[in-house]
Amino acid sequence: MKTTYLRINPADNVAVAISPLHAGETIEADGRVITLRTDVPAGHKVTLKNFQAGENIIKYGYPIGHVTVDVPEGTWVSEKEIKTNLAGLLDYTYQPVEVHTDIPMEHRTFKGYRRRNGDVGVRNEIWIIPTVGCVNGIVNQLAEGLRRETDGGKGVDAIVAFPHNYGCSQLGEDHENTKKILRDMVLHPNAGAVLVVGLGCENNQPDVFREFIGTYDEDRIRFMVAQKVDDEYEEGMRILRELYAKCCQDERTDVPLSELRVGLKCGGSDGFSGITANPLLGMFSDYLIAQGGTSVLTEVPEMFGAETILMNRCRTTELFNQTVSLINDFKEYFLSHGEPVGENPSPGNKAGGISTLEEKALGCTQKCGKSYVSGVMAGKIDSKESQEVFQMFQDMEKDGYAIATEKNGTDEFRAGTAAMYIYGSWSINSLDEDGMNYGIAKIPSFDGKTSVSILSSSGLSISKDSKNKEAAW
């Protein structure tokens, strides 16, 4: 007989519809037959008892929120009737649990690429990384050019450009964070070779960034500054051909599984994630950890509601305290900006059957299995300066002075939904071509202070004597 619903934990007072359920059908729970009062979409929850407003919904054996209205048994229950229990910071008590996965050490290996510094990659790719967004165009051209010359990158796993919009007009901690991310990418063991491309006049100066990276394999990590070469495409291709030839000689070797590190991340979570993919990843994590490897659970806000499970699996009191700080620091960050800590589930999550952040977290955290927590990687996102900047922009949007966009504002300006936007002179031609009636104004000041901007130049050209003039277009 086909299974159409699942009660995940004996303590649960809801079941999950494996396939769509229909009003009038029956399900069983605790020896009782329950007739469905409503249709229930796949992945969503159906009540196994009569609920009074305020009672907790139990799923995975833990509360995932409470109902806001009376709900009879046999009814589809969703975010419309369920509200999160999350609110503010909590005081946690360390209640350590014994962990027994009973997975033997098998001294297994995997095929990896051993780098000169001892790190191990699972892929052998050629990466082209810009220090600043101004060279995104040439970076993309170089990647495409090498792919054309090498039949799509035959002999390596991939040839990848990493364009981004940062590296200039950034100050303080913001600028330092960009440098740290780019440094970690340059040194990533999945890159068999890296070409770092700079412009020359950016805040993230190539020479300074080179020193910031520290010790690196100069045979596999090369630098090019566009303003210091006659033809950046030709010079870039020359360097890439050399790097490609070296990467093609790399071979996978047997590496102990204890050296494998895997990062875990959700993507498109729904009501099935916590009973299919995530538990499977959890089994993999437990096996990897038993072999001495490392599994890294990320996305701290998606631990809210399941954090005590992780805290009580910490090996030591010190780790427990670090985990408490990790959770409460993130909560404090939300609260300091007037944002609730439990509003995470997206419209797609809810459409797929997830009603609250607790429900999402209890499914999410299954990716790390049931092993001990043996380390905490914390980061600082709550400096006084960062909070002030974030608060200013949030207030501007909340008060209707600004709108959020994932682009640069030109489309909104053209559409008339933005009265003003800050951008460079390179947008003027397109606005003129559109027949826009616009003016240019001084950047507004805040709190009576003098407005300050950053002036930079991004002059790029292709020499008339270049052998690859067509690359300019």
DSSP string, 224-247: EEGGGSS-HHHHHHHHHHHHHHHH
The vertex-26 CA angle with 22 and 30, nearest 5°, equals: 135
378: confidence class by pLDDT, cuts 50, 70, 90: low
pLDDT at 155: 97
- From 424, 328, 329, 315, select the one nearest 371 (Cα to Cα): 315
pLDDT at 352: 95
Q: What does the pLDDT look like over 6-15, one tens digit per residue? A: 999 999 999 9
pLDDT at 325: 93
pLDDT for residue 356 is more than 50:
yes
pLDDT for residue 312 is more than 80:
yes
pLDDT at 225: 96
For residue 224, the one-letter residue type is M
Q: CA 261 to CA 72: how far, in whole Å? A: 47
> What mean pLDDT comes out for the span 441-466?
58
> What mean pLDDT comes out for the span 350-358?
95
Share of the chain above pLDDT 70, in %: 88
Which CB contacts under 8 angstroms, 24+ apart, belong to 446-455? 446/392, 454/168, 454/169
Q: What is the mean pLDDT of the chain?
A: 89
Gap between the terminal Cα atoms of the chain = 63
pLDDT at 456: 42
pLDDT at 348: 92
pLDDT at 105: 95
